[in-house]
Amino acid sequence: MDTISIIEGRVIDPATNLDLVTDLHIADGKIIAIGNAPADFTAAKEINAKNKIVCPGFIDLSVRLREPGAEYKATIRSETEAAAKNGITTVCCPPDTDPVIDSPAIAELLQQRSAKAGMAKVLPLAALTKGLKGEHLAEMGILKQAGCIAVSDVRPIVNTNVLRHALEYAATCDLTVFLHPIDPWLGNSGCAHEGVVSTRLGLTAIPEQTETIAVARDLLLVENSGVRAHFCRLSSGKSVEMIQQAQDKGLAVTADVSIHHLLLSDIDIHLYDSQCKVCPPLRSSLDKQALGDGLKNNIINAICSDHQPHEAEAKLNPFSMAAAGISGLDTLLPQCLRFAEQMGMDLITILSYLTEKPAAILGIDAGTLQVGKVADICIFDPNKNWTLNQDTMYSMGKNSPFFGQELKAKVYFTIINGKVVYEYL
Amino acid sequence: MNSIQLNNQGRLKHFLDIEGLNRKLLINILDIADSFLNIDTKAVKKVPLLRGKTVVNLFFEPSTRTRTTFELAGKRLSADVLNFNINNSSTSKGEALIDMLRNLEAMHCDMFVIRHNAGGAATFMAQHVAPHISIINAGDGQHAHPTQAMLDMFTIRQNKGDFAPLSVAIVGDILHSRVARSNIHALNILGVSEVRVVAPKTLIPTGIETLGVKVFNDLKKGLDGVDVIIMLRLQRERMKSALLPSAYEYFQSYGLTESALKVAHPDAIVMHPGPINRGVEIDSSVADGPRSVILQQVNNGVAIRMAVMAISLGAVSEQDSN
């Protein structure tokens, strides 16, 4: 039997508003006590967490594992391990694998291989339409039974009729829809936010309306269908306003933002830095600020890594020809803490966007340290600085705009289902 | 911006972009080009400045005049010149730009002149190339075409002398034009009194004012009193992407005709980077008329490219303009 006592850590659980230096005890994969151990309890392993934070393991709403289909970029094993080493205990995998997650076989493959790896848990997101082609509905009911946690479009659904039906059908299946608001036409050949930077660098532009038009359309169809909708990776301040209006109206709408959109803007592209090429694009510094405010005001409900590992060659190209995406698992926690510092946000609040709030979006019983809950736990030192480089980065993809930067916060232990899966030595 | 253009001593190493260069350097390029201007009238049309050097022209986009003037410039400097005309579709499917760069490096060349349809391609090459090689940007996407801008400045100086009092209008497809962007930077660095851009709203990029221009959507207002008119080529594809209704309507509104030219200063010169679309952006009578300096621009292209190549390879010092 695995029994663990975590001694003298600063235990922070946003879900119960707990922030206290105390002990935490684990048995049978669950948290059995906080504070004093039960009388008959003996810990097989004792972790000294003095001067460290003990919090729920992080839940990341978007992690590309690249398997199946692009194993030269990363694999289920490599990325679930990298996640675990960064305190991330649950990851959602978008359906744009190859083949697409539109059949139970692929959903099961992801779960079986990740279970075998024994690191971070993988929750597959199913395709909303077959092959993500926007033409026919995917077998959402069957995919739900096969373990898919939600359904997602990923690529724009051009045919509004198909989208409307897909949302209605998802509502029927009681599935949350993860929507990526991108207009299929506007800026579809672009690679940078439309603004002074794109004009100066001569980069084909992606206007703000690429996102806002899609948000508007999607919100109208969400309202019509009554589906629970989660808007993925907002990039513009105007979208935040629109989401707020929908929430004020009482629609079941949530949203997330990637950590890089909270820290970077189009100015960071500087001299065509292809590491700053992402989709949606980094927008203006005003947008960045509005996203931060949206998070603070709880209009945006979660921060994700939007992890997209690439092989080095994918970024070794002129900006417009380089692949989009940032390898984000390794920087999620440190950069969230940096963002919190910039915003004057306390630790328990910033951690809520990585724990209980994404858990609520997914409707899973996780992201909290309550007695009786599954012991998915991260123990980190908030004051341990380290430098992001080839050796300290655990993901197979080394594509990061933060390469070479000194980061704060180092994960020392990760516990998943009551087992220590990672210990920093 | 683009400090990689300069080496540790602040000397020009790569020529990628006008933005970030100073007035002194631009004037220096013009002065050195002046000294090369009459080489083609001599019996031996060569100077030995780049003897033993190898220049590679890497053209990923079709080009006649830019490529041939670069080739001629290299040869008049006594360099060995290799031309690669690379069909872009084959590289996008096959060899990556970085691999091509490594292969060419292995051939021990001294300079790459690159034209590519991706903005920043020349900068990318300069960021990754071996330290002894110079990169010259012969046009990268919609970003920059710095040698074109310099030959335009050269032509303006030949005709107008001083930059300070000039009002300059750039007319046409500003959105897609690397020539416009480089000219805007060059004109502002050289201190002209005013730069205008004239185009319909569909062809004006967001925030262009921040580069130091005034935007006009009306041709006659935009040309009112200007000393220099730079016309831009209008690509036929612009009609397909719903930016304009037709070439005919464009000519009606933005084509440079004798009548439109009347509002400009009586001594205004008319420029065009070529190749011209007669009856689309410019009327033949203007293109071939007394105000046109279009062929003078072409002639100046060789001298300017010689100057840029010689300076970048350290064959002439930046102060030495005689």
Residues in chain B closer than 8 A to A202 (CB atoms)? 119-120, 140-144, 178, 181
In a domain, A4, yes or no: no
Residues in chain B closer than 8 A to A201 (CB atoms)? 119-120, 143
In a domain, A184, yes or no: yes
For the stretch B257-290, pLDDT in tens is 999 999 999 999 999 999 999 999 999 999 999 9
| 3-state DSSP assignment of residue A182 | coil
Could you state, in order of their start, the residue ranges of all structural domains in chain B? 3-144+300-321, 146-298
Catalytic residue positions of A?
A: 306
| 3-state DSSP assignment of residue A319 | helix
Beta-carbon contacts below 8 Å between A and B: 80
| CB spacing of A320 vs B210 below 8 angstroms | no
Domain B146-298: CATH class, spelled out = alpha beta
The topology under which CATH files domain B3-144+300-321 is Rossmann fold (3.40.50)
| CB spacing of B210 vs A313 below 8 angstroms | no
Question: Of the candidates B50, B98, B202, B74, which has an alpha carbon nearest to the alpha carbon of residue B147?
Answer: B74
- Tell me the percentage of chain B whose pLDDT exceeds 90: 81
For the stretch B184-208, pLDDT in tens is 999 999 999 999 999 999 999 999 9
> B86: pLDDT confidence band, cut at 50, 70 and 90?
confident
Asked whether the predicted pLDDT for residue B322 surpasses 50, the reply is: no
Q: Are A331 and A145 in contact (CB under 8 A)?
A: no
In this predicted complex, what is the ipTM? Answer: 0.93
> What domain count does chain A have?
1
Of A196, A207, A319, which has the smallest distance from its Cβ to B120's Cβ? A319
Q: Determine the structural domain holding residue A282 and report its residue range.
A: 56-362
For the stretch A185-234, pLDDT in tens is 999 899 999 999 999 999 999 999 999 999 999 999 999 999 999 999 99
For the stretch A330-358, pLDDT in tens is 999 999 999 999 999 999 999 999 999 99
Selected residues 183-202 of chain A with any CB under 8 Å from a CB in chain B: 194-196, 198-202
Q: For position A318, which CATH number holds? A: 3.20.20.140
Rounded to whole angstroms, the Cα distance separating B246 from A139 reads: 47
For the stretch A232-261, pLDDT in tens is 999 999 999 999 999 999 999 999 999 999
Question: Of the candidates A113, A110, A114, A126, which has an alpha carbon nearest to the alpha carbon of residue A88?
Answer: A114
| CB spacing of B98 vs A317 below 8 angstroms | yes
Phi then psi for residue A362, to 5 deg, are: -80, -15
Of A199, A271, A318, which has the smallest distance from its Cβ to B97's Cβ? A318
Selected residues 142-181 of chain B with any CB under 8 Å from a CB in chain A: 142-144, 178, 181
- Tell me the percentage of chain A whose pLDDT exceeds 70: 100
In a domain, A325, yes or no: yes
What is the model's pLDDT at position A340?
A: 98
Burial readout B172-210 (b: 16 or more C-beta within 10 A, e: otherwise): bbbbbbbbbbbbbbbbbbbebebbbbbbbeebbbbebee
Please calculate the CA angle A201-A202-A203 and round it to the nearest 5 degrees. 90
| CB spacing of B119 vs A272 below 8 angstroms | yes
| CB spacing of A271 vs B97 below 8 angstroms | no
Torsion of Cα atoms, A157 then A162 then A164 then A170, to 10°: -90
In a domain, A118, yes or no: yes
| CB spacing of A200 vs B121 below 8 angstroms | no
Rounded to whole angstroms, the Cα distance separating A226 from A4 reads: 44
For the stretch A5-63, pLDDT in tens is 999 999 999 999 999 999 999 999 999 999 999 999 999 999 999 999 999 999 999 99
With an 8 Å Cβ cutoff, is A276 touching chain B?
Answer: no
Domains B3-144+300-321 and B146-298 share a fold: yes
In a domain, A281, yes or no: yes
Question: Of the candidates A194, A201, A182, which has an alpha carbon nearest to the alpha carbon of residue A318?
Answer: A201
Residues in chain B closer than 8 A to A185 (CB atoms)? none
| CB spacing of B2 vs A271 below 8 angstroms | yes
Rounded to whole angstroms, the Cα distance separating A354 from A376 reads: 13
CA distance to partner chain B, nearest, from residue A207 (Å): 10
- Of the residues A269, A285, A315, A321, the best mutation for testing chain B's interface (the one with the most B CB atoms within 10 Å of its CB) is A321
